[in-house]
Amino acid sequence: MAPHRLSPAIRRAILAGLAGLVALQFAPAHAAPARTRLTDAAVRTFMARQEAAWNARDARGYFALFAPGATFVEEGRTNTGGVIRYGSSRLEEARQQAQRFFAGPRSGDRTTITAITVAPNGRSAKVAGQKVTTLADGARRHCAEVRQTLTLTAGRILSTGETSTAIRCRDAGRRPQFEDH
């Protein structure tokens, strides 16, 4: 008796079903559910995921949380309260800079969110905070005011970029403003 052969169409259907099961099994655990509007809690969860990816030196996971046109701005606050802009970069440049940073000494970021303003339509939110970066040995710290605008894009929360304004660590208790420089 000859073995039963499956038609090519049935074989393709079975393989597609198996591929789907495998994809579900290995789907990223950090994938966020589709959303219809931003909430304070969703923004805080997003920011925690972003910080965790950075501290794990997971460049792929970290930069997946940014929109394709994201801009990263570096500034410094002067002793008189003014702001000096050091430069800005786009997503790919920021990714390359992060890889160089990750090759250096271990460090960790701790961001304290000081303000979240969700737009009335729930499609975007402005986030302000204070970030402290400390080397693993605790020898050096860097403090900054940070601002991001988050958008809801195809059910996912994405950042349009980050503005980081370096400050003296003793000034880290002040509340950063939302103004764009």
Q: Is the pLDDT of residue 61 over 50?
A: yes
Mean pLDDT score of the chain: 82
Q: Is the pLDDT of residue 122 over 50?
A: yes
Choice between 62 and 108, residue whose per-residue pLDDT is larger: 62
Return d(Cα 130, Cα 85) in angstroms, integer: 18
**Token code pair at residue 67:** 């929109």
**Token code pair at residue 147:** 């601002």
Q: Is the pLDDT of residue 55 over 50?
A: yes
In the chain the domains, ranked by start, together with CATH numbers, are 34-171 (3.10.450.50)
Q: Is the pLDDT of residue 180 over 80?
A: no
Q: Is the pLDDT of residue 71 over 50?
A: yes
Confidence of residue 29 (pLDDT cuts 50, 70, 90): very low
The upper half-sphere exposure of residue 64, i.e. CA atoms within 13 Å in the direction of its Cβ, equals 12
pLDDT at position 107 = 86
**Bridge partners, 162 (sequence order):** 72, 148
Contact of 158 with 66, CB cutoff 8 Å: yes
Choice between 170 and 74, residue whose per-residue pLDDT is larger: 74
pLDDT at position 137 = 76
Cβ-based neighbour number of residue 148 at 10 Å: 23
Q: Is the pLDDT of residue 26 over 60?
A: no
Q: Is the pLDDT of residue 181 over 50?
A: no
Could you give the percent of the chain with pLDDT greater than 70?
73
Strands 66-77 and 156-167: parallel
Choice between 160 and 100, residue whose per-residue pLDDT is larger: 160
- What average pLDDT does the segment 153-172 reach? 89
pLDDT at position 48 = 97
